[in-house]
Amino acid sequence: MKNIIVLFVLLGSFFISSAQTIADVGKITLSVVAPEEMDSLTSSQVVNLYAKCVQIATSKHVGAVGYATNFALSPKLTINDTKVADGGMQSITIVSAELTLFVQQADTHMIFASLSKRISGSGTNQAAAISNAIANISVNDPEFEQFIETAKGKIVSYYESKCDDIMKQAEAMVKKQDYQQAIGILMGIPEEVKGCYENAQKKSLVIYKAYENKMCAQQLQDAKIQLAANNYEEALAVLKNVDPECKCSKEANMLIKETAAKVTAQQKREWDTALKIYEDAITMEQHRIDAEKEIALAEYKHKSTKK
Protein backbone atom coordinates (compact mmCIF):
# COMPACT_ATOMS: atom_id res chain seq x y z
CA MET A 1 0.00 0.00 0.00
CA LYS A 2 2.91 2.38 0.67
CA ASN A 3 4.12 1.87 -2.91
CA ILE A 4 0.63 2.64 -4.19
CA ILE A 5 0.56 5.92 -2.26
CA VAL A 6 3.96 6.91 -3.64
CA LEU A 7 2.81 6.19 -7.19
CA PHE A 8 -0.31 8.27 -6.70
CA VAL A 9 1.77 11.17 -5.40
CA LEU A 10 3.96 10.98 -8.49
CA LEU A 11 1.03 10.68 -10.86
CA GLY A 12 -0.85 13.41 -9.03
CA SER A 13 2.10 15.80 -9.27
CA PHE A 14 2.06 15.38 -13.04
CA PHE A 15 -1.62 16.28 -13.27
CA ILE A 16 -1.13 19.27 -10.95
CA SER A 17 1.22 20.75 -13.52
CA SER A 18 -0.87 19.80 -16.55
CA ALA A 19 -4.53 20.09 -15.56
CA GLN A 20 -4.93 23.18 -13.44
CA THR A 21 -6.00 26.29 -15.31
CA ILE A 22 -8.33 29.17 -14.53
CA ALA A 23 -10.62 27.78 -17.23
CA ASP A 24 -11.67 25.13 -14.67
CA VAL A 25 -12.91 27.74 -12.20
CA GLY A 26 -16.68 28.22 -12.37
CA LYS A 27 -17.24 24.80 -13.93
CA ILE A 28 -18.58 21.61 -12.40
CA THR A 29 -15.37 19.73 -11.71
CA LEU A 30 -14.54 16.49 -9.95
CA SER A 31 -11.31 15.73 -8.15
CA VAL A 32 -10.17 12.25 -9.17
CA VAL A 33 -8.98 10.51 -6.03
CA ALA A 34 -7.38 7.19 -5.19
CA PRO A 35 -9.40 4.36 -3.66
CA GLU A 36 -8.65 3.79 0.02
CA GLU A 37 -7.98 0.06 -0.28
CA MET A 38 -7.14 -2.11 -3.25
CA ASP A 39 -5.50 -5.16 -1.68
CA SER A 40 -6.31 -7.40 -4.66
CA LEU A 41 -4.45 -5.09 -7.08
CA THR A 42 -0.79 -4.32 -7.62
CA SER A 43 0.41 -0.72 -7.33
CA SER A 44 0.70 -0.38 -11.12
CA GLN A 45 -2.85 -1.71 -11.57
CA VAL A 46 -4.19 0.84 -9.09
CA VAL A 47 -2.42 3.63 -10.97
CA ASN A 48 -3.81 2.35 -14.29
CA LEU A 49 -7.32 2.29 -12.80
CA TYR A 50 -6.81 5.82 -11.51
CA ALA A 51 -5.64 6.92 -14.96
CA LYS A 52 -8.81 5.43 -16.50
CA CYS A 53 -10.91 7.51 -14.11
CA VAL A 54 -8.91 10.59 -15.08
CA GLN A 55 -9.64 9.85 -18.74
CA ILE A 56 -13.35 9.34 -18.03
CA ALA A 57 -13.59 12.64 -16.14
CA THR A 58 -11.54 14.71 -18.57
CA SER A 59 -13.29 13.28 -21.64
CA LYS A 60 -16.56 14.50 -20.10
CA HIS A 61 -14.96 17.89 -19.32
CA VAL A 62 -15.31 17.56 -15.53
CA GLY A 63 -11.79 16.48 -14.59
CA ALA A 64 -9.98 18.48 -11.90
CA VAL A 65 -7.06 16.19 -11.18
CA GLY A 66 -4.39 17.14 -8.70
CA TYR A 67 -6.26 19.69 -6.59
CA ALA A 68 -9.17 19.78 -4.20
CA THR A 69 -12.69 20.53 -5.38
CA ASN A 70 -15.95 20.13 -3.53
CA PHE A 71 -16.79 16.87 -5.28
CA ALA A 72 -14.70 13.79 -5.94
CA LEU A 73 -14.77 10.83 -8.32
CA SER A 74 -13.33 7.61 -6.93
CA PRO A 75 -13.23 4.01 -8.18
CA LYS A 76 -13.48 0.60 -6.57
CA LEU A 77 -12.66 -2.69 -8.29
CA THR A 78 -13.87 -5.98 -6.82
CA ILE A 79 -12.65 -9.30 -8.23
CA ASN A 80 -15.67 -11.61 -8.23
CA ASP A 81 -14.42 -14.73 -9.99
CA THR A 82 -11.23 -16.23 -11.39
CA LYS A 83 -11.22 -19.18 -13.79
CA VAL A 84 -8.45 -21.06 -15.57
CA ALA A 85 -9.25 -22.29 -19.07
CA ASP A 86 -7.25 -24.66 -21.24
CA GLY A 87 -5.68 -22.56 -23.96
CA GLY A 88 -3.78 -25.28 -25.74
CA MET A 89 -0.06 -24.84 -25.12
CA GLN A 90 -0.72 -22.45 -22.20
CA SER A 91 -3.62 -22.08 -19.80
CA ILE A 92 -5.59 -18.82 -19.84
CA THR A 93 -6.77 -17.12 -16.65
CA ILE A 94 -10.07 -15.26 -16.90
CA VAL A 95 -11.23 -12.82 -14.24
CA SER A 96 -14.68 -11.35 -13.74
CA ALA A 97 -14.81 -8.11 -11.75
CA GLU A 98 -17.13 -5.29 -10.79
CA LEU A 99 -16.05 -1.69 -11.31
CA THR A 100 -17.87 0.83 -9.13
CA LEU A 101 -17.54 4.57 -9.55
CA PHE A 102 -18.68 7.07 -6.92
CA VAL A 103 -19.19 10.83 -7.00
CA GLN A 104 -19.34 12.20 -3.48
CA GLN A 105 -19.18 15.49 -1.64
CA ALA A 106 -15.65 15.89 -0.30
CA ASP A 107 -16.45 17.12 3.21
CA THR A 108 -19.54 15.10 4.08
CA HIS A 109 -18.73 12.03 1.90
CA MET A 110 -22.38 12.04 0.82
CA ILE A 111 -22.72 10.01 -2.38
CA PHE A 112 -24.33 11.94 -5.24
CA ALA A 113 -24.07 9.27 -7.94
CA SER A 114 -22.74 5.74 -8.34
CA LEU A 115 -22.32 3.27 -11.16
CA SER A 116 -21.52 -0.45 -11.05
CA LYS A 117 -20.32 -2.17 -14.18
CA ARG A 118 -19.10 -5.72 -14.83
CA ILE A 119 -15.76 -6.04 -16.58
CA SER A 120 -13.58 -9.00 -17.47
CA GLY A 121 -10.09 -9.74 -18.70
CA SER A 122 -7.80 -12.60 -19.55
CA GLY A 123 -4.09 -13.34 -19.36
CA THR A 124 -1.45 -15.89 -18.57
CA ASN A 125 -2.09 -15.45 -14.83
CA GLN A 126 -4.47 -13.57 -12.53
CA ALA A 127 -2.37 -10.42 -12.41
CA ALA A 128 -2.19 -10.25 -16.19
CA ALA A 129 -5.93 -10.90 -16.45
CA ILE A 130 -6.72 -8.06 -14.01
CA SER A 131 -4.45 -5.69 -15.94
CA ASN A 132 -6.23 -6.70 -19.14
CA ALA A 133 -9.64 -6.06 -17.57
CA ILE A 134 -8.58 -2.53 -16.54
CA ALA A 135 -7.12 -1.87 -19.99
CA ASN A 136 -10.43 -2.97 -21.56
CA ILE A 137 -12.44 -0.29 -19.74
CA SER A 138 -13.82 1.91 -22.51
CA VAL A 139 -13.61 5.59 -21.58
CA ASN A 140 -16.29 6.37 -24.18
CA ASP A 141 -18.83 3.93 -22.77
CA PRO A 142 -22.27 5.66 -22.83
CA GLU A 143 -22.91 4.43 -19.27
CA PHE A 144 -20.06 6.62 -18.03
CA GLU A 145 -21.49 9.63 -19.82
CA GLN A 146 -24.91 9.07 -18.27
CA PHE A 147 -23.29 8.59 -14.86
CA ILE A 148 -21.45 11.92 -15.13
CA GLU A 149 -24.59 13.73 -16.33
CA THR A 150 -26.57 12.34 -13.39
CA ALA A 151 -23.88 13.51 -10.98
CA LYS A 152 -23.78 16.98 -12.56
CA GLY A 153 -27.56 17.34 -12.20
CA LYS A 154 -27.41 16.47 -8.52
CA ILE A 155 -24.47 18.81 -7.96
CA VAL A 156 -26.48 21.67 -9.48
CA SER A 157 -29.36 20.85 -7.14
CA TYR A 158 -26.93 20.80 -4.21
CA TYR A 159 -25.64 24.30 -4.96
CA GLU A 160 -29.17 25.61 -5.51
CA SER A 161 -30.20 24.36 -2.07
CA LYS A 162 -27.02 25.52 -0.33
CA CYS A 163 -26.59 28.90 -2.03
CA ASP A 164 -27.50 31.02 1.01
CA ASP A 165 -25.23 28.96 3.27
CA ILE A 166 -22.31 29.35 0.86
CA MET A 167 -22.82 33.11 0.72
CA LYS A 168 -22.82 33.29 4.53
CA GLN A 169 -19.66 31.16 4.65
CA ALA A 170 -17.93 33.62 2.31
CA GLU A 171 -19.13 36.58 4.38
CA ALA A 172 -17.67 34.96 7.51
CA MET A 173 -14.30 34.75 5.77
CA VAL A 174 -14.54 38.42 4.77
CA LYS A 175 -15.09 39.42 8.40
CA LYS A 176 -11.78 37.66 9.18
CA GLN A 177 -10.23 39.52 6.22
CA ASP A 178 -9.50 36.14 4.66
CA TYR A 179 -10.43 37.51 1.25
CA GLN A 180 -8.67 34.78 -0.71
CA GLN A 181 -10.66 31.99 0.89
CA ALA A 182 -13.88 33.97 0.49
CA ILE A 183 -13.16 34.37 -3.23
CA GLY A 184 -12.32 30.67 -3.50
CA ILE A 185 -15.66 29.73 -1.91
CA LEU A 186 -17.69 31.97 -4.22
CA MET A 187 -15.80 31.13 -7.40
CA GLY A 188 -16.38 27.45 -6.66
CA ILE A 189 -20.08 27.88 -7.47
CA PRO A 190 -20.49 26.52 -11.02
CA GLU A 191 -22.02 28.67 -13.74
CA GLU A 192 -24.72 26.04 -14.32
CA VAL A 193 -26.32 27.24 -11.06
CA LYS A 194 -27.61 30.38 -12.79
CA GLY A 195 -28.94 32.77 -10.13
CA CYS A 196 -26.54 31.72 -7.37
CA TYR A 197 -23.57 31.92 -9.74
CA GLU A 198 -24.44 35.46 -10.84
CA ASN A 199 -24.85 36.66 -7.26
CA ALA A 200 -21.57 35.00 -6.30
CA GLN A 201 -19.76 36.72 -9.18
CA LYS A 202 -21.01 40.14 -8.06
CA LYS A 203 -20.09 39.49 -4.43
CA SER A 204 -16.66 38.09 -5.30
CA LEU A 205 -15.84 41.23 -7.30
CA VAL A 206 -16.58 43.40 -4.25
CA ILE A 207 -14.39 41.12 -2.13
CA TYR A 208 -11.63 41.20 -4.73
CA LYS A 209 -11.52 44.99 -4.58
CA ALA A 210 -11.29 44.82 -0.78
CA TYR A 211 -8.45 42.32 -1.21
CA GLU A 212 -6.70 44.67 -3.63
CA ASN A 213 -6.96 47.53 -1.11
CA LYS A 214 -5.38 45.27 1.48
CA MET A 215 -2.55 44.22 -0.86
CA CYS A 216 -1.75 47.53 -2.57
CA ALA A 217 0.52 48.86 0.19
CA GLN A 218 2.70 45.76 -0.12
CA GLN A 219 2.71 46.06 -3.90
CA LEU A 220 3.90 49.67 -3.69
CA GLN A 221 6.62 48.65 -1.26
CA ASP A 222 7.75 45.86 -3.59
CA ALA A 223 7.83 48.30 -6.52
CA LYS A 224 9.91 50.81 -4.54
CA ILE A 225 12.40 48.08 -3.63
CA GLN A 226 12.78 47.24 -7.33
CA LEU A 227 13.17 50.93 -8.20
CA ALA A 228 15.88 51.38 -5.57
CA ALA A 229 17.79 48.55 -7.23
CA ASN A 230 17.25 50.12 -10.69
CA ASN A 231 15.13 47.14 -11.71
CA TYR A 232 12.70 49.30 -13.67
CA GLU A 233 11.06 46.56 -15.70
CA GLU A 234 10.41 44.51 -12.55
CA ALA A 235 8.96 47.58 -10.85
CA LEU A 236 6.57 48.15 -13.73
CA ALA A 237 5.53 44.49 -13.60
CA VAL A 238 4.58 44.93 -9.93
CA LEU A 239 2.77 48.23 -10.51
CA LYS A 240 0.78 46.73 -13.36
CA ASN A 241 -1.01 44.56 -10.78
CA VAL A 242 -2.25 47.53 -8.75
CA ASP A 243 -5.95 47.88 -9.47
CA PRO A 244 -6.75 51.40 -10.76
CA GLU A 245 -9.74 51.64 -8.39
CA CYS A 246 -7.88 50.75 -5.20
CA LYS A 247 -6.82 53.33 -2.63
CA CYS A 248 -3.15 53.18 -3.69
CA SER A 249 -3.81 53.89 -7.37
CA LYS A 250 -2.79 57.58 -7.23
CA GLU A 251 0.62 56.80 -5.77
CA ALA A 252 0.96 53.83 -8.14
CA ASN A 253 0.34 56.10 -11.13
CA MET A 254 3.03 58.49 -9.95
CA LEU A 255 5.49 55.61 -9.67
CA ILE A 256 4.45 54.31 -13.10
CA LYS A 257 5.28 57.69 -14.69
CA GLU A 258 8.57 57.84 -12.82
CA THR A 259 9.51 54.31 -13.83
CA ALA A 260 8.33 54.51 -17.43
CA ALA A 261 10.72 57.40 -18.03
CA LYS A 262 13.68 55.18 -17.19
CA VAL A 263 13.06 52.06 -19.29
CA THR A 264 14.30 51.39 -22.80
CA ALA A 265 12.25 52.37 -25.85
CA GLN A 266 11.26 48.73 -26.46
CA GLN A 267 10.24 48.27 -22.83
CA LYS A 268 8.26 51.52 -23.02
CA ARG A 269 6.32 50.28 -26.07
CA GLU A 270 5.55 46.98 -24.32
CA TRP A 271 4.50 48.83 -21.19
CA ASP A 272 2.22 51.20 -23.10
CA THR A 273 0.53 48.17 -24.66
CA ALA A 274 0.06 46.57 -21.24
CA LEU A 275 -1.39 49.77 -19.80
CA LYS A 276 -4.20 49.80 -22.36
CA ILE A 277 -5.96 47.21 -20.21
CA TYR A 278 -6.74 49.99 -17.71
CA GLU A 279 -8.19 52.24 -20.38
CA ASP A 280 -10.88 49.81 -21.49
CA ALA A 281 -13.63 49.04 -18.95
CA ILE A 282 -14.58 45.69 -20.50
CA THR A 283 -10.99 44.52 -20.67
CA MET A 284 -10.39 45.67 -17.11
CA GLU A 285 -13.44 43.76 -15.92
CA GLN A 286 -12.14 40.57 -17.56
CA HIS A 287 -8.74 41.20 -16.01
CA ARG A 288 -10.35 41.31 -12.57
CA ILE A 289 -12.35 38.14 -13.22
CA ASP A 290 -9.20 36.32 -14.32
CA ALA A 291 -7.39 37.59 -11.21
CA GLU A 292 -10.22 36.27 -9.02
CA LYS A 293 -9.97 32.88 -10.74
CA GLU A 294 -6.23 32.81 -10.13
CA ILE A 295 -6.87 33.46 -6.44
CA ALA A 296 -9.54 30.76 -6.32
CA LEU A 297 -7.31 28.23 -8.09
CA ALA A 298 -4.49 28.96 -5.65
CA GLU A 299 -6.92 28.27 -2.81
CA TYR A 300 -7.94 24.92 -4.33
CA LYS A 301 -4.29 23.91 -4.70
CA HIS A 302 -3.60 24.98 -1.12
CA LYS A 303 -6.45 22.81 0.12
CA SER A 304 -5.11 19.81 -1.79
CA THR A 305 -1.74 20.09 0.02
CA LYS A 306 -3.51 20.01 3.39
CA LYS A 307 -5.38 16.76 2.72
The answer, yes or no, to whether residue 5 has pLDDT greater than 60, is no
pLDDT (tens digit, 9 = 90+) per residue, 41-97?
Answer: 888 999 999 999 999 998 888 876 556 678 989 999 999 999 998 766 788 999 999
Confidence of residue 12 (pLDDT cuts 50, 70, 90): very low
* pLDDT for the residue 171: 96
Q: In order of start, what are the domains of the chain with their CATH numbers?
A: 2-159 (3.30.160), 176-306 (no CATH)
pLDDT (tens digit, 9 = 90+) per residue, 169-181?
Answer: 999 999 999 999 9
Alpha-carbon gap, residue 125 to 137, rounded angstroms: 19
In the predicted model, what is the mean pLDDT of the chain?
83
Alpha-carbon gap, residue 12 to 53, rounded angstroms: 13
Closest CA to 105 of 164, 33, 177: 33
pLDDT (tens digit, 9 = 90+) per residue, 125-156?
Answer: 999 999 999 999 999 999 999 999 999 999 99
Q: What is the pTM of this model?
A: 0.76
* pLDDT for the residue 14: 36
Strands 92-105 and 111-123: antiparallel
Query: Burial letters for 162-188: b for 16+ Cβ neighbours within 10 Å, e otherwise?
Result: ebeebbeebeebbeeebbbbbbbbbbb
Closest CA to 15 of 55, 66, 60, 76: 66
Alpha-carbon gap, residue 26 to 298, rounded angstroms: 14
